[in-house]
């Protein structure tokens, strides 16, 4: 069966993203950095800038013959949730986050890639959306699409649960809880995946994420993040590969239960 069709007025205006619902494709790649959104959009055919509003920059274009959007969501779950909510209200059916993260296991180091299966909800936004026991899970079909795209690109990847945290720089009063999360088996730490997965689930949309690892604070004995440096050449190279994989995955047909999804604006995907 298809995903339930959502009737969206194409003239509905999304006030924070500053875009019309009808201008947003069903498939959207979301990234934190507006500069990364602009860079990734340079790979699209027929690229068009929709809007620049605060940290949110929105583009559309075509990749592998499919219309997709690329939108930046900024840093942290609160602001990112605003972006994800307005995209879902615009009728987006597939969202893939391509971002950076810190490795949490010794084998997950700078230059690695992680396909996210789920996220531990250590953020503030999702606690205001759903009960504590509600899981933040990636869509299975999106995970499979990312696996296939990574294999096509010839990239080995890690997979697993990540920690979504609102805290970047810990202080001495409470210290860092990263060692506890490492013992629990999370593979990486980042700041937005839980918000993406929960928001998408509330709208019946499919979401997933692939993350480029820019360091490993525990492996580097850098609990206070004072040695953080995301600008290493190996990280830049991995980000490029991540964008390739994410674009290929987000452009794949939208499937649910074996049938292509119906376009929310009235045509077939």
Strand-pair category, 66-72 with 158-165: unpaired
Which residue intervals of the chain are DSSP H helices? 34-41, 77-89, 140-152, 178-184, 193-203, 233-250
> Which residues on neighbouring strands pair with residue 262, listed in sequence order?
268
Question: What whole-number distance in Å separates Cα of residue 231 and Cα of residue 156?
Answer: 21
CA-based radius of gyration for the chain: 18
For residue 195, the number of C-alpha atoms closer than 13 Å in the C-beta half-sphere is 28
Angle between helices 233-250 and 140-152 (to 10 degrees): 120
Tell me if residue 214 is catalytic. Answer: yes
Helix (H, G, I), strand (E, B) or coil at 165: strand
Q: Exactly one of 123, 139, 141, 214 is catalytic; name it.
A: 214
Q: Which residue, 117, 92, 115, 126, is CA-closest to 206?
A: 92
Buried/exposed code over 12-24 (b: 16+ C-beta within 10 A; e: otherwise): eebeebebbbebb
Catalytic residues: 214
């Amino acid at each position: 069966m298809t995903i339930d069709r959502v009737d969206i007025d194409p003239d509905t205006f999304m006030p924070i993203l500053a875009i019309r619902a009808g201008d947003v494709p069903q498939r959207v790649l979301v990234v934190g950095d507006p500069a990364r959104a602009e860079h990734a959009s340079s790979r699209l055919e027929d690229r068009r800038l929709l809007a620049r509003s605060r940290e949110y920059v929105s583009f559309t274009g075509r990749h592998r013959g499919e219309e997709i959007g690329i939108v930046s969501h900024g840093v942290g779950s609160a602001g990112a949730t605003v972006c994800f909510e307005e995209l879902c209200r615009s009728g987006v059916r597939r969202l893939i986050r391509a971002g950076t993260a810190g490795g949490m296991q010794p084998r997950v180091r700078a230059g690695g890639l992680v396909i996210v299966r789920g996220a531990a909800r250590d953020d503030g936004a999702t606690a205001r959306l759903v009960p504590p026991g509600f899981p933040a899970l990636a869509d299975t079909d999106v995970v499979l699409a990312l696996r296939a795209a990574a294999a096509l690109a010839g990239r080995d990847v890690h997979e697993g649960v990540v920690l979504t945290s609102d805290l970047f720089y810990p202080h001495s009063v409470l210290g860092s809880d990263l060692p506890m999360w490492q013992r629990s088996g999370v593979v990486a730490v980042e700041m937005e995946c839980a918000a993406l997965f929960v928001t998408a689930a509330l709208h019946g949309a499919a979401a997933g994420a692939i993350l480029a690892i820019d360091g490993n604070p525990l492996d580097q004995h850098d609990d206070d993040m004072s040695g953080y440096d995301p600008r290493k050449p190996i990280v830049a190279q991995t980000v490029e590969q991540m964008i390739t994989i994410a674009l290929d995955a987000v452009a794949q047909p939208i499937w649910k239960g074996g049938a292509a999804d119906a376009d929310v604006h009235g045509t077939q995907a």
